[in-house]
Structure 1
């Protein structure tokens, strides 16, 4: 198959390629064979590009704005018209001579070009060229408007051709105009969707395939995207089985985009992988996901894509030492301060920037350039993608002294220059690429620097022996303990609560207002000149990522895991029912285990003791006429039980004797908690109060042992605790969905937050200062207690009414009777069984690996599962 040198990257960004013609070019208006070139003429919105068949000749680009005249050529010997057009140019450009990639050669000389058409009629081609030449004399907004009108007219004449489909009898469910997006290039075409396939038919023949096909069953992830400041983009990722791994589309309107998105999401043939930000955050926090993968995920969620240079993924500088011979990752001085933006790392420069900031009128900004923009992306990647740079800079590379020549020099410039605050790209940490962007692999002549040295490969720090070694060590630094402990601070700046508003001002993180999402609504800017100026400014300046977090991001607490290990290294429990015990006449409300004894209380007001060794009931006592809500062991033999009758009862299991009862609350006692080390009994009630009791095992007035009262607005529904050093914190949940954290020693409420909209019905204190809570409306939520900030949230089909943390797994029982084992490191369900026919309201897990769950109906008591 014949290869072509022409591509849309030869055109200016945003320029449209319409069609091409088989033709001959003669640039001297004579008949000498040496000046005659056979090839194809490309008709584009701003230029004509002639691509010779022979590679020894360069491509010739003729800009309409530099064209003096266009005319039909007449024969020298008569007035007979020949099928040719003469184009008089004031200047023109040549490129890819001998197919060598180099800056375009611009010739500033008046010259005539004679184009003879093989099949097309010169008169028809001249009419189109004259129309485009007139458009080139207009200001950019009017020019764009006129080209859009021409393009729309051509679009209307284009009809999707079903012949190229896998089965042309397939029903087309949806057909729309769309553009396939790649860096700096937009391929216009028609999008058609059938019950099984997405088809994209390009408007022009520049694509390698006349039709692009993506099977719906291969779709894995779909993202809405903001493209060129408008919510019209759609990015689709496919499975490994698909011959096309990715496609990025843009539509005429947000309504068109939403129509396609909803159709794909609702299609029975589409099986999407859905991972919520909260789930990914929890996996990252536990060390299941690496720092690199988490940053790539956040970039994706924040509308950053490698296919859109205006919103390219952004990564931080993490190393500040580019002079030492060895890289010491155990030395904190090796690392950059991740709590500050690049512009605030140098105090002297920041002070000068602040002086300018205070003198400005609103809207103010600290930094006049961005940390990520198309020009900055290609500054780093010019050796890997030289064609992109030539496209962006109209056929030229940057001045040799301003190029990416040395890692150390670039970092120092980012610290000192008053207009340089750029961060890094994923390529700096991507070990699979082996640092290929640092090598001049195409052997391009980028020119010479002021000292006469030729621009070639990037100069690396002394501690890096090669580009591959450089990237590998940067990746090790990114995954190091220091960065893992501080990366959340950088996330706050780029994706989080310090991105905008007052917190951004406090953090010295303020950029020009037009780069923030939503700061400018272009749909409301009706003046074409103003609108075009804003578009250009935003495209060139850069765009702030979409804000993902409005509260401080959680800190990583798990060890860094480069490769996720399988769950075989973790405990896995086999669930099997070994006994069914029917003791109570009404629902069981709580159960505990003491050695071989199983103690339970129920709504029948009775306390039962069952010997699991001899498999028989050994104690049964009616403690009160009202239901019992909860029970705890306060020593080897004494049980404390709370009742709906406002009282707490103490019962000696060994001697079968009720020791004492006392009025603990003004309403029902709903939950109990025993702190063995402190010998404290904590009770919660429907009166909205939590009380702390001491000396409860002694005879006499129990109220003398009351040590604290903690007031709540709603009924207290659950109790738990955590140890923080020498301190003990009490965790409470209430019927209004509020969760509170209390310091026991000071009786102070450390924090309180509305975790749920419905009643909090279960909780489990997890490792790493995290708390899982479940509500009656089916919501599960994991909260970082350090920030009172949600790190994971999920709604399940059946509300979780009971849960317990077993050190490496979470046991959860729900309203449908399912007993599930969750791995909260990977945020997955390891196993799930239908343990009961009705809801599980309590789970007990003890040190000998027994899980107990309880039924909630009739005379049935509970089942024991191993």
Structure 2
């Protein structure tokens, strides 16, 4: 049983030469696998040590999140880049078999080489089942892809041979993408989309050639963004429209049975999720015939909220759907199986906005002026009150997608007071995992379960849409209603309730 990182390393590296291990993908993205969060009784070791959470190296400070984060950073380090070809030689290359494998102490039982054993030629079922048991428990050597040494990857730094590598000695990384947000500068004029929205901006999609935007009550559909899903009609029906015109392609009257639609999200070209004052989250399948929509059919109705659902967010990468409601709760749903996954701890106010990072799976929830971050399993990461008073209530939010190895997050929020605020996460200095912070305004927030959040949220920038337009602040800013971040370049697009779109771009 995997009990200690140190013990596993010492066993595989020097104490037991028959102990062959390789890090599973979870070592680079899932801190939860190191924690016995369900308090399962695994018993004790022979020396009496109780089995539970995996014992981490000292440099992880007892924090599984930090352990995983440093592993991700190490994958992008110059040391790994300079030695990657050696690993390829052992696993897929010329050191996998033959004399080079013997010299590298990289040989295994013949049963583990798939091309060396012909199970069909073994008549004795006992021997055949024994071999299959070996393979099932220990795996097989991958197919050899290279018969010559693999060339080394070019790395910026040259690590010294034989030098011990620790997290603190890893070469520094370039500044992550969110740091460019510090240099954002506003454009002198408002951005004109391909279509002129007729009210408050509801959805913005930046493309390579233009900026697409629609008003509230409309949603641009991927992948071409040439169609819109519209709701808010007096008869409670919804329709499919053509972007840039008032043409209605198809009307869906069957949605009226589920009450007034208040929000929608489109995780894929053929899946639309809606919800509203019925409190039921409905997942619909858009049928296509010869490239044209032919109908909208209900796949699943998801029950869990007790009041109107006000916002939705989805991530196909992590197969997550998040719904936020006026009942002050957020619920996580499995997007593949369309089942309940988890309910986030109750917020103090109705949920106004949610977002999901496609890089880390981090979930953002906004309730009033309160901003909270959660991991993909619903555990608290960070929380902060962003402003005071009703005018500071958050109306929309989005995540800034940085490099996969970067454990920090950048979150952008838009508020009723017309301000755009950029937040970043910071590791808590000297924090003790599991310790509950004292009840004081400056203390790190805690979840209702008493678990201390892992990170702090710090304000990076405040952007004023009035300053962007006139050069002077205003006391009567219209509310920010939509946000979007360009993926290809550091460009922030902000929509307001007057139907205008503002742009901030990073220098350089």
TM-score of Structure 1 vs Structure 2, range by shorter chain: 0.5 to 0.7
- The answer to whether the 8 A contact 1:671-1:684 is kept is yes
Is the alpha carbon distance of 1:599 and 1:650 closer, same or farther for their aligned partners in structure 2, counting shifts above 3 Å?
Answer: farther
Task: Indicate the residue corresponding to 1:557 in structure 2.
Answer: 68
- Cα distance between partner residues in 2 of 1:339 and 1:700: 47
Q: TM-score, normalised by structure 1?
A: 0.33
Are 1:740 and 2:346 an aligned pair? no
Which residue, 175, 181, 186 being the options, matches 1:577?
186
Which residue, 264, 273, 280 being the options, matches 1:672?
264
Residue pairs, 1:158-237, within 5 angstroms:
none
- Cα distance between partner residues in 1 of 2:173 and 2:419: 22
Task: Indicate the residue corresponding to 2:481 in structure 1.
Answer: 841
Is the alpha carbon distance of 1:761 and 1:768 closer, same or farther for their aligned partners in structure 2, counting shifts above 3 Å?
Answer: same
Residue pairs, 1:14-163, within 5 angstroms:
none
Q: Secondary structure at the match of 1:683?
A: strand
Q: Secondary structure at the match of 1:569?
A: coil
- The answer to whether the 8 A contact 2:217-2:231 is kept is yes
- The answer to whether the 8 A contact 2:271-2:284 is kept is yes
Task: Indicate the residue corresponding to 1:521 in structure 2.
Answer: none
Task: Count matched residues.
Answer: 323
Which residue, 799, 803, 807 being the options, matches 2:401?
807
Is the alpha carbon distance of 1:662 and 1:323 closer, same or farther for their aligned partners in structure 2, counting shifts above 3 Å?
Answer: closer
Task: Indicate the residue corresponding to 1:771 in structure 2.
Answer: 363
- Cα distance between partner residues in 2 of 1:815 and 1:328: 62
Task: Indicate the residue corresponding to 2:459 in structure 1.
Answer: 829
Is the alpha carbon distance of 1:644 and 1:820 closer, same or farther for their aligned partners in structure 2, counting shifts above 3 Å?
Answer: farther
Are 1:632 and 2:220 an aligned pair? yes
- The answer to whether the 8 A contact 1:557-1:768 is kept is no
Task: Indicate the residue corresponding to 2:200 in structure 1.
Answer: 587
- Cα distance between partner residues in 1 of 2:328 and 2:462: 27
Which residue, 495, 500, 507 being the options, matches 1:861?
500
Which residue, 796, 817, 820 being the options, matches 2:386?
796
- Cα distance between partner residues in 2 of 1:328 and 1:657: 72
- Cα distance between partner residues in 2 of 1:592 and 1:745: 25
Q: CA deviation at 1:599?
A: 4.0
- Cα distance between partner residues in 2 of 1:565 and 1:761: 41
Task: Indicate the residue corresponding to 1:751 in structure 2.
Answer: 342
Task: Indicate the residue corresponding to 1:148 in structure 2.
Answer: none
Q: CA deviation at 1:864?
A: 2.7
- The answer to whether the 8 A contact 1:680-1:694 is kept is yes
- Cα distance between partner residues in 2 of 1:643 and 1:782: 30
Q: Secondary structure at the match of 2:420?
A: strand
Q: Secondary structure at the match of 2:480?
A: coil
Q: CA deviation at 1:771?
A: 0.9
Q: CA deviation at 1:745?
A: 3.2
Which residue, 648, 661, 668 being the options, matches 2:238?
648
Q: CA deviation at 1:807?
A: 0.9
Q: CA deviation at 1:805?
A: 1.4
- Cα distance between partner residues in 1 of 2:241 and 2:10: 73
- The answer to whether the 8 A contact 1:318-1:338 is kept is no
Q: Secondary structure at the match of 1:847?
A: coil
- The answer to whether the 8 A contact 2:395-2:415 is kept is yes
Are 1:686 and 2:277 an aligned pair? yes
- Cα distance between partner residues in 2 of 1:746 and 1:346: 37
Q: CA deviation at 1:769?
A: 3.3
- Cα distance between partner residues in 1 of 2:273 and 2:36: 41
Q: CA deviation at 1:635?
A: 4.5
Q: Note the residue ranges of structure 2 that are not aligned, 5 or more in a row.
A: 23-33, 51-55, 72-166, 403-409, 428-456, 467-476
Is the alpha carbon distance of 1:846 and 1:581 closer, same or farther for their aligned partners in structure 2, counting shifts above 3 Å?
Answer: closer
- The answer to whether the 8 A contact 1:668-1:685 is kept is yes
Q: CA deviation at 1:681?
A: 1.5
Q: CA deviation at 1:773?
A: 0.8
Q: CA deviation at 1:327?
A: 7.1
Which residue, 314, 319, 324 being the options, matches 1:721?
314
- Cα distance between partner residues in 1 of 2:217 and 2:420: 21
RMSD, matched Cα: 4.3
Task: Indicate the residue corresponding to 2:302 in structure 1.
Answer: 710
Residue pairs, 1:281-360, within 5 angstroms:
319=6, 347=45, 350=48
Deviation string 1:140-176 (CA, Å, 9 cap, x unpaired) is xxxxxxxxxxxxxxxxxxxxxxxxxxxxxxxxxxxxx
- The answer to whether the 8 A contact 1:592-1:631 is kept is no
- The answer to whether the 8 A contact 2:316-2:335 is kept is no
- The answer to whether the 8 A contact 2:396-2:415 is kept is yes
Deviation string 1:677-713 (CA, Å, 9 cap, x unpaired) is x62111222221222222356678735x221211232
Deviation string 1:33-56 (CA, Å, 9 cap, x unpaired) is xxxxxxxxxxxxxxxxxxxxxxxx
Q: Secondary structure at the match of 1:737?
A: coil
- Cα distance between partner residues in 2 of 1:748 and 1:321: 37
Is the alpha carbon distance of 1:555 and 1:737 closer, same or farther for their aligned partners in structure 2, counting shifts above 3 Å?
Answer: farther
Q: CA deviation at 1:768?
A: 3.2
Q: CA deviation at 1:843?
A: 0.3
Is the deviation greater in 816-825 or in 793-802? 816-825
- The answer to whether the 8 A contact 2:286-2:294 is kept is no
Q: CA deviation at 1:631?
A: 1.3
Task: Indicate the residue corresponding to 1:658 in structure 2.
Answer: 248
- Cα distance between partner residues in 1 of 2:333 and 2:393: 26
- Cα distance between partner residues in 2 of 1:661 and 1:594: 28
Q: Secondary structure at the match of 1:842?
A: strand
- Cα distance between partner residues in 1 of 2:458 and 2:342: 29
Q: CA deviation at 1:338?
A: 8.6
Is the alpha carbon distance of 1:804 and 1:771 closer, same or farther for their aligned partners in structure 2, counting shifts above 3 Å?
Answer: same
- The answer to whether the 8 A contact 1:681-1:696 is kept is no
- Cα distance between partner residues in 2 of 1:661 and 1:332: 57
Q: CA deviation at 1:737?
A: 1.6
Task: Indicate the residue corresponding to 1:818 in structure 2.
Answer: 419
Residue pairs, 1:376-387, within 5 angstroms:
none
- The answer to whether the 8 A contact 1:630-1:670 is kept is no
- The answer to whether the 8 A contact 2:287-2:294 is kept is no
Q: Secondary structure at the match of 1:852?
A: strand
Which residue, 838, 848, 852 being the options, matches 2:493?
852
- Cα distance between partner residues in 1 of 2:313 and 2:497: 23
Q: CA deviation at 1:853?
A: 0.9
Q: CA deviation at 1:774?
A: 0.9
Task: Indicate the residue corresponding to 1:478 in structure 2.
Answer: 58
- The answer to whether the 8 A contact 2:218-2:228 is kept is no
Q: Secondary structure at the match of 2:327?
A: coil
Is the alpha carbon distance of 1:834 and 1:749 closer, same or farther for their aligned partners in structure 2, counting shifts above 3 Å?
Answer: same
Q: Secondary structure at the match of 2:417?
A: coil
- The answer to whether the 8 A contact 2:287-2:293 is kept is no
Q: Note the residue ranges of structure 1 that are not aligned, 5 or more in a row.
A: 1-315, 351-414, 416-420, 422-475, 490-553, 603-627
Q: CA deviation at 1:775?
A: 0.8
